[in-house]
Structure 1
Amino acid sequence: MAKSIIHPILRQRLGLPDNETIAFEHLEDVLIQMAKEIPFENLSIMENRNAAITMDNLFDKMILRKEGGLCYELNTVLYYFLCESGFHTTMVRGITYDHNESQWSAGGRTHIINLIEHNGQPYLVDSGFGGNLPLKPVPLNGEVVVSDNGEFRVERVNGEHGDCLLYMKLKHKHDDWKIGYAFDSTRGIKDLSELDDVQNIIVHHPQSRFNKKPLLTKRTDQGNITLTNSSFTQWIDGIEHKQEINDEAMFKELLRTHFDWKG
């Protein structure tokens, strides 16, 4: 499969104009549409149908079957889209901060993100952080970026987990800045096989939060929605609406209705 196939078909899935050049100013639209159209989800893990991280497999899953994925899938597709749009793009690994446990993720550096350059300035571009997405490129110079999802900034540090920290203040959820993740902007991923290692950790690590129960989330025009096998939560204009799920039939119906699932 030629990588260039990703570009026009992903445009189609995201509802982007066919003939419009993707300039830096358009990346906000790309990130918003990805967050709305391609859910952050782990069903392939829960259904034991994982595949090697190759462009053929990602194309089949996320473009042809119109499923979603986790960060190492979502941001890999975004990586090739950005490259094909003419951006100098690098994928790097990060480590997320677990606020429930007040510690860094036990699985280590399993968060995959993209970095691009624009007018000599590096920016973070992330479509794989669940409900915590910046929805805009975030410069690595500390400048605060404001989107429909909240406020975000990247602080340069000299830490054990890398040289950058992403901070977030989610709209309607956070009163203070929270650490999202740390990453090393100088250590780019050289080969997709490195993402197989990431997937292996997420699938098998005993403390992975993505191998315990199904999880799907995506943006909506009013906020976001999150589905597990025990609850369905909608954030509508800052107000949380939570519904308990009683059985598998109810879960599958919500899956079809809100996530257009064909499985």
Structure 2
Amino acid sequence: MPSRARSAADPARGWGGDALDLDAYLERIGHRGPVAPDAETLTAVHRAHSAAIPFENIDVLLGREIPLDVEALQDKMVRRGRGGYCYEHGLLLAAALERIGLQATGHAARVRVGGGLRPATHMALTVETPSGAVLADTGFGGGGPLYPVPLRAPETEAAQDEWTYRLTDEGDGVWALSSRTGDTWDELYGFTEDPRYRGDYAILSHYLSTSPRSPFTGRLMVQHTEASVRRRLTDTALTEEHPDGTVDRRDLAPEEVPEAIRDVFGITLTRDDAEAVAKAAAGFTEED
């Protein structure tokens, strides 16, 4: 089982939860039930966060710095109603859980989608609850889990709304998360039990938000999973994936991209940002 996180009293190893406006966060995600340091609260908060806050890399696309301190995260994702990519989601969720009294441990995961051995750049969390350890991840984009997934060796298969996930203990401290679409299991990522901290993610985020070799620079990615559909906007291609494996696709004109970000994913951009995104989208169509 994952190692327990060290005390959050050490700021370098905690998640900065003291700086989070928990009431504002809970209002943003639409959680109005009881809050306690237990598995039921974690499940409810995780599902509400997944439903309310989409994955998006708009600021990375526009060449902006991605600050990861709690104040910046809540200004962007709570007050301004934006989404974020994995580090933003993971650090915001970890801070909220810390405020609630649930201590999360951060991990580095290797994305396995598409095959190949990739650097361990994805952020995932495990959380010790009175009911046992679980994987918590609201930041894997359109394919990530909606609810926490229990860590039970050798394997856990979890039905989540109309989707199904599988968490497998591969031995030597490695866990692998997969998702089933139709009759096919697709590996999402693998992670190890050794902990990572805020400073580790700051270094990884700097690389992923600035390097021309990063999958997040030079392209647009907005994603969200609902109970029965996964929606993805990749550059100008808008797709809807269903649990039976069928996929619907629509190619957007550049000027339609900001509208889709607003109408499909619930993100309202400023006029300047909408114009910048449309301009970037026009570059995507020229490359095609």
Matched, 1:157 2:171: yes
Q: Secondary structure at the match of 1:207?
A: coil
Identify if the C-alpha distance between structure 1 residues 237 and 140 changes in structure 2 by more than 3 Å, giving closer, same or farther. closer
Deviation at 1:77, TM superposition (A): 0.5
CA contact (8 A) 1:43 1:215 kept: yes
Distance 2:107 2:53 in 1: 21
CA contact (8 A) 2:63 2:210 kept: no
Say how many residue pairs are matched: 250
CA contact (8 A) 1:28 1:136 kept: yes
1:197 maps to which residue? 203
Distance 2:265 2:176 in 1: 29
Instruction: Give a deviation string over 1:75-102, Cα, whole Å, max 9, x none.
Output: 1100011111211211111111142xx2
2:59 maps to which residue? 44
2:230 maps to which residue? 224
Instruction: Specify every segment of 5 or more residues in structure 2 that has no aligned partner in the other structure, as ranges.
Output: 1-15, 271-288
The AA in structure 2 aligned to 1:244 is: D
Q: Secondary structure at the match of 1:259?
A: coil
Higher strand fraction: Structure 1 or Structure 2? 1
Matched, 1:132 2:143: yes
Q: Among residues 112, 117, 127, which one is paired with 1:97 in the alignment?
A: 112
CA contact (8 A) 1:134 1:152 kept: no
Deviation at 1:209, TM superposition (A): 1.6
1:180 maps to which residue? 188
1:67 maps to which residue? 82
Greater Cα shift, 232-241 or 81-90: 232-241
Distance 1:119 1:251 in 2: 44
CA contact (8 A) 1:91 1:112 kept: yes
Distance 1:47 1:220 in 2: 27
Instruction: Give a deviation string over 1:122-176, Cα, whole Å, max 9, x none.
Output: 2211111112222222222222222122222131422xxxx2222313333xx34
Deviation at 1:236, TM superposition (A): 5.3
Matched, 1:56 2:71: yes
The AA in structure 1 aligned to 2:128 is: E
Q: Among residues 136, 160, 165, which one is paired with 1:147 in the alignment?
A: 160
| Percentage of identical aligned residues | 22
The AA in structure 1 aligned to 2:187 is: I
Deviation at 1:18, TM superposition (A): 6.0
Greater Cα shift, 198-207 or 210-219: 198-207
Deviation at 1:242, TM superposition (A): 1.1
Greater Cα shift, 175-184 or 232-241: 232-241
Distance 2:27 2:131 in 1: 30
The AA in structure 2 aligned to 1:177 is: W
Deviation at 1:225, TM superposition (A): 1.4
Identify if the C-alpha distance between structure 1 residues 222 and 183 changes in structure 2 by more than 3 Å, giving closer, same or farther. closer
Distance 1:143 1:250 in 2: 41
Distance 2:33 2:20 in 1: 13
CA contact (8 A) 1:13 1:37 kept: yes
Q: Secondary structure at the match of 1:66?
A: coil
TM-score (norm 1): 0.85
Matched, 1:24 2:39: yes
Q: How does 1:2-17 map to 2 (within 5 A)?
A: 3=18, 5-17=20-32
The AA in structure 1 aligned to 2:165 is: E
2:280 maps to which residue? none
2:269 maps to which residue? 262
Instruction: Give a deviation string over 1:3-33, Cα, whole Å, max 9, x none.
Output: 3543211110111116543631233332222
Greater Cα shift, 198-207 or 33-42: 198-207
Q: Among residues 233, 241, 245, which one is paired with 2:248 in the alignment?
A: 241
Q: Secondary structure at the match of 1:84?
A: helix
Deviation at 1:221, TM superposition (A): 4.5
Q: Secondary structure at the match of 1:16?
A: coil
Deviation at 1:184, TM superposition (A): 1.9
